[in-house]
Amino acid sequence: MKTKTRTPKNDKTGFKARLVRDLHRNWSLYLLFVPVLLYYILFKYKPMAGLIMAFQNYSPAKGLLGSTWVGLQHFKEFLTLPDFWQLMRNTLWISISMLIFAFPAPIILALLLNEIRNKAFQRSVQLVAYLPHFISMIVICGLIVKFTSDNGIINDFLSMFGLERISYLNYPKFFVPIYVLSGIWTDVGWSSIIYYAALTGVDQQLYEAAAIDGAGRWKQTVHVTLPGIMPTIVVMLILQIGNLLNIGYEKIILLYNPITYETADVISTYVYRKGVLDGAFSYSTAVGLFNSMLSFMLLFIANMISKKTGEGGLW
Amino acid sequence: MMKISKSERIFRVINCIFMIALMFITIYPLYYVAVASVSNSAELMSHTGFLYKPQGFDFGAYKIVLRNKNIISGFINTTILMVSRVSLAMVLTILGAYVVSRKNAMLAPIFMVIIVITMFFNGGMIPTYLNVRSLGLEDTMGALVLPSAINAFNLIILRNAFAAVPDELEEAAAIDGAGRIRMLCMIMLPLVIPTLMVVLLYYAVEVWNSWFEAMLYVRKKSLYPLQLVLREVLINNNATGMGSGGSGDSETMSETVQYAVMMVATLPILLVYPFLQRYFVNGMMIGAVKG
């Protein structure tokens, strides 16, 4: 069999020679990649180069090369903005709320799903629970707007207990709960898939051994199941922390209004308003870059902590 | 059979009730929309409390929705996008995934890195937006087709499928003198059809539900995809031309019309979802395990 391999590994051949031979043999393969490469250069890497406009007073007429450099001026402007702390607070508050409530929800759901003995029932729960993930953001936000309005079903329900009918989306204090709860509704089922897959991968013999040692279902869950899916949880947690500041602005843009900016306006929605609506390109790029850099820092810190505590990291 | 303790039996009952509650909470909003959309608008407005059956029975809202020119053009635009963007995305994803899956190509790992980097770094909203403008794509269908044609996650799913095909098959074809494209089309693609299905479905859902790019890049109403038309009707509550029955009850009409609009936009997904669910889940599993 070994004689059949076309290129015997020969370390003595220089890199250049190997590359030439590889290009000679695989040029038709690489030709197939040209459109893909063009796509990535044109639509992914070119915008990345555009990030340098954060340090310029960019004007589309002059282009990236002709615009004047201003250094860190835009970053300074953002950091001294009166709204800066509100934006930071809102961004962190929404993401921490998501971390506390929306992150564990799919793990709990996966654990509970795993306890269902009737397979047909289990499958129907899964079928239903995954569905909201596929409904468009617009329709979901449309539902939220309808249901939280003063004649919506949430008010219909709460007014039975004598609560006053109010339009919840117009109250800053209700924005984050609405955001988090609807987020759980949309994705708890879909996100549980990955944990459920990890659960079904736990060695069945471990359960049998635990049962012989006298562990009940609860103890089996704590001592066998949870450690079994811990690597998955840790990876997802690190990723989530890395994304802490990258809140889905689409949903916020659909749900917030100037009355609720006080709790709903986050860095990414601010970037959208400043950049797209007001045309402050360089400034909003700087704000966006600042946001991504903070995110990367968080990701590194989370990964470091995870490694230090012996849970392993992403890299 | 092991004996089930009393506490465990209680747990099972509670768990079962919880799951039923979860299913109810998931389904009821959709059921509500369905029921409300076929209700008589005046009766729906006066109804309070738990809605479990249509109030009156009236398809008037659907007549308005399906005659509305914005909705119709939204449907047409989304269909055009669906065909053009999904086919472009499939072609590019297949090409990219095939090339990076080849183990004996020296440049393949480099190409892979180029792709993976974009999963973690991007230019951000504004540079991306300006890039689309500078390419002259603003206010064209191209702005909705090109900028996010390839989804790197989908590409990796497909790459894993290609990589799992035994090398001998390709080697045999190479000996028979098959060119790269013939090899890809005749040998590789037929072997990864289940994964192709998954990727195709992911793209289709992505395109059907996308709206943010359209909001950024398109000003002309005639180019609005369905979701952006929906946004005008549902979120901005700007039902221009929606209550055009001329009967003066446009205010109450718009309520049922809004529900009908939601139904129209969601029904295609609801109809195919039960049959395709396992493909979606399979894709998630492949991506999760190997991604």
For A235-245, the pLDDT digits (tens) are: 888 888 877 78
Q: How confident is the model at residue B243 (pLDDT cuts 50, 70, 90)?
A: very low
Q: Do A292 and B124 touch (CB under 8 A)?
A: yes
Q: Which of B169, B195, B222 is the last residue of a domain?
A: B222
pLDDT at position A306 is: 86
pLDDT at position B247 is: 39
pLDDT at position A238 is: 87
pLDDT at position B290 is: 46
Shared domain for B73 and B215, answered yes or no, is yes
Torsion of CA A80, A83, A87, A93, to 10 degrees: 110
Given A29, A250, A281, which is nearest B130 (Cβ)?
A281
Q: Which of B190, B194, B207, B105 minimizes the C-alpha distance to B150?
A: B207
Q: Confirm whether B79 is domain-assigned.
A: yes
pLDDT in tens, A166-193: 889 999 999 999 999 999 999 999 999 9
Q: Confirm whether B57 is domain-assigned.
A: yes
Shared domain for B103 and B125, answered yes or no, is yes
Chain Cα centroid distance, residue B52: 29
pLDDT at position A65 is: 86
Shared domain for B201 and B109, answered yes or no, is yes
Report whether pLDDT(A5) > 50: no
pLDDT at position A89 is: 94
Report whether pLDDT(B241) > 70: no
pLDDT at position A143 is: 92
CA distance B168 to B272: 38
Number of domains in chain B: 2
Q: In sequence order, which ranges of B146-186 are alpha helices (DSSP H)?
A: 152-163, 167-175, 180-182
Given B7, B105, B208, which is nearest A22 (Cβ)?
B105
CA distance A114 to A230: 16
CA distance A82 to A199: 48
Shared domain for B90 and B162, answered yes or no, is yes
Q: Which of B222, B252, B274 is the last residue of a domain?
A: B222
Interface size, chain A vs chain B, as Cβ–Cβ contacts under 8 Å: 234
Q: Which residue, chain included where needed, has tokens 């994803």?
A: B93
**Minimum distance, in Å, between the CA of residue A128 and any CA atom of chain B:** 6
pLDDT at position B288 is: 57
Q: Which of B170, B190, B222 is the last residue of a domain?
A: B222
**Amino acid sitting at position B198:** V
Given A128, A160, A284, which is nearest B27 (Cβ)?
A128
**Amino acid sitting at position B146:** L
DSSP B94-157: HHHHHHHH-TT-TTHHHHHHHHHHHHH----HHHHHHHHHHTT-TTSTHHHHSTT---HHHHHH
Shared domain for B32 and B48, answered yes or no, is yes
> In a 3-state reduction of DSSP, which class is residue A69?
strand
**Minimum distance, in Å, between the CA of residue B90 and any CA atom of chain A:** 11
Helix axes A172-200, A226-242, angle to 10 degrees: 140
Which residues, in sequence order, are bridge partners of residue A57? A68
Shared domain for B145 and B251, answered yes or no, is no
- The strand ranges marked E within A55-102 are 56-57, 68-69
**Minimum distance, in Å, between the CA of residue B92 and any CA atom of chain A:** 6
Which residues, in sequence order, are bridge partners of residue A69? A56
Shared domain for B79 and B197, answered yes or no, is yes
Mutation pick from A136, A243, A256 vs chain B, by most beta carbons of B within 10 Å, is: A136
Query: How far is CA B256 from each of CA A54, A167, B42, B261, B265, rounded to the nearest angstrom?
Result: 47, 19, 9, 9, 14
Chain A hits for B182, CB-CB cut-off 8 Å, are none
Mutation pick from B28, B126, B158, B237 vs chain A, by most beta carbons of A within 10 Å, is: B126
Given A36, A40, A276, which is nearest B216 (Cβ)?
A276
Q: In sequence order, which ranges of chain A are alpha helices (DSSP H)?
A: 15-40, 46-49, 63-66, 73-79, 84-97, 104-115, 119-130, 137-148, 153-159, 172-200, 204-212, 217-220, 226-242, 249-255, 261-264, 267-272, 281-308
- The helix/strand count (H/E) of chain A reads as 17, 2
Q: How confident is the model at residue A273 (pLDDT cuts 50, 70, 90)?
A: very high
Given A132, A142, A250, which is nearest B212 (Cβ)?
A250
Query: How far is CA A65 from each of CA A41, A50, A71, B126, rounded to the nearest angstrom?
Result: 18, 10, 15, 17
Query: Quick one: closest CA in B to A110, which residue?
Result: B19
Domains of chain A in start order, with CATH, are 1-46 (no CATH), 73-308 (1.10.3720.10)
pTM: 0.87
Query: Quick one: closest CA in B to A154, which residue?
Result: B49
Q: Do B27 and A22 touch (CB under 8 A)?
A: no
Q: Confirm whether B123 is domain-assigned.
A: yes
Chain Cα centroid distance, residue B179: 35
Shared domain for B162 and B109, answered yes or no, is yes
Shared domain for B38 and B102, answered yes or no, is no
Q: What CATH number does the domain containing B197 carry?
A: 1.10.3720.10
Q: Confirm whether B228 is domain-assigned.
A: no
Which range scores top for mean pLDDT: A30-34, A304-308, B68-72, B242-246?
Answer: A30-34
Q: Confirm whether B166 is domain-assigned.
A: yes
Residues of chain B with pLDDT > 90: what percent? 48
Over residues A92-97, the mean pLDDT reads 92
Shared domain for B61 and B76, answered yes or no, is no
With contact defined as beta carbons under 8 Å apart, do A276 and B129 qualify?
Answer: yes
Q: How confident is the model at residue A102 (pLDDT cuts 50, 70, 90)?
A: very high
Q: Do A193 and B5 touch (CB under 8 A)?
A: no
Which range scores top for mean pLDDT: A6-15, A199-208, B83-92, B171-180?
Answer: B83-92
Q: Which two tokens stand for residue B107?
A: 């440049």
pLDDT in tens, B246-286: 334 444 457 888 899 999 999 988 898 888 888 888 777 76
pLDDT at position B245 is: 39
Report whether pLDDT(A216) > 60: yes
Contacts of residue B127, defined as CB under 8 A and 6 or more positions apart, other chains included, come to A47, A48, A49, A50, A51, A53, A285
Report whether pLDDT(A110) > 70: yes
Q: Do B111 and A50 touch (CB under 8 A)?
A: no
CA distance B28 to A182: 14
With contact defined as beta carbons under 8 Å apart, do B260 and A125 qualify?
Answer: no
Chain B hits for A288, CB-CB cut-off 8 Å, are 124-126
CA distance B192 to A147: 44
Over residues A142-153, the mean pLDDT reads 88
- The strand ranges marked E within chain A are 56-57, 68-69
Cβ atoms < 10 Å from Cβ of A40: 21
Q: Confirm whether B232 is domain-assigned.
A: no
Over residues B103-119, the mean pLDDT reads 92
CA distance A224 to A243: 29
Chain A hits for B25, CB-CB cut-off 8 Å, are 185
Q: Do B230 and A138 touch (CB under 8 A)?
A: yes
Residues of chain B with pLDDT > 70: what percent? 90
pLDDT at position B239 is: 47
pLDDT in tens, B8-55: 889 899 999 999 999 999 999 999 999 989 988 777 777 776 777 888
Given A26, A125, A216, which is nearest B5 (Cβ)?
A216
Over residues B205-233, the mean pLDDT reads 92
Q: How confident is the model at residue A9 (pLDDT cuts 50, 70, 90)?
A: low
Query: Quick one: closest CA in A to B8, which residue?
Result: A217
pLDDT in tens, B112-153: 999 999 988 888 899 999 999 999 999 999 999 999 999 998
Chain B hits for A141, CB-CB cut-off 8 Å, are 234-235
Q: Which of A40, A1, A15 minimizes the C-alpha distance to B99?
A: A40
Over residues A263-285, the mean pLDDT reads 93
Query: Quick one: closest CA in A to B254, which residue?
Result: A146
Shared domain for B35 and B161, answered yes or no, is no
Torsions phi, psi for A6 (to 5 deg)? -75, -35
Given B102, B125, B285, which is nearest A272 (Cβ)?
B125
Shared domain for B88 and B184, answered yes or no, is yes
With contact defined as beta carbons under 8 Å apart, do B65 and B277 qualify?
Answer: no
Q: Confirm whether B234 is domain-assigned.
A: no
Q: How confident is the model at residue A221 (pLDDT cuts 50, 70, 90)?
A: confident
**Amino acid sitting at position B253:** M
Given A29, A39, A288, which is nearest B125 (Cβ)?
A288
With contact defined as beta carbons under 8 Å apart, do B119 and A35 qualify?
Answer: no
Q: Which two tokens stand for residue B181?
A: 């494209």
- Exposure string over B20-51, b if 16+ CB within 10 A, otherwise e: eebbeebeebbebbbbbbbbbbbebeebeeeb
Chain B hits for A200, CB-CB cut-off 8 Å, are none
Q: Do A139 and B16 touch (CB under 8 A)?
A: no
Q: Confirm whether B12 is domain-assigned.
A: yes
Sign (positive or negative) of CA dihedral B272, B276, B280, B283? negative
Q: Which of A237, A35, A148 minimizes the C-alpha distance to B89?
A: A35
pLDDT at position B60 is: 84
For residue B157, the enclosing domain spans 68-222
Q: How confident is the model at residue B3 (pLDDT cuts 50, 70, 90)?
A: low
Task: Supply the mean pLDDT for chain A.
Answer: 89
**Minimum distance, in Å, between the CA of residue A48 and any CA atom of chain B:** 4
